[in-house]
Amino acid sequence: MNKGEWVAVLYDKKWHAGQIKGIDLDNEFEVKFLRQWRGIAENRPVFKWPTPDDIFDVDLKDVACKLAEPVAVGRSGRSPRGF
């Protein structure tokens, strides 16, 4: 996995979508997480970047899989669509 890629991370028996912002020598990833928003676009949930940023260090074992890069939706194009 590389910086900039999107991943699903398992935490507290739920998956959370985020983007890898950094990788350290111990194979821990700094991940910036999205939060699911109330809306639905094209039958998929909508995610937004929270304020303040939701950034955590994640062990490789907690990364469930890679995700495709989300597509922006909305008038401003700033809200990532579901995966």
Long-range contacts of 12-19 (CB under 8 A, 24+ apart): 15/64, 17/47, 17/67, 17/70, 17/83, 18/54
Provide the residue ranges of all domains of the chain, joining segments of one domain with +. Answer: 6-75
pLDDT at 23: 94
pLDDT at 82: 55
| Predicted TM-score (pTM) of this structure | 0.80
Average confidence (pLDDT) over 53-65:
94
Q: Tell which CATH architecture fits domain 6-75.
A: Roll (2.30)
pLDDT 10s digits, 2-55: 999 999 999 888 889 999 999 998 889 999 999 987 666 566 677 888 899 999
14-23, 51-60, 67-76: the lowest-pLDDT one: 67-76
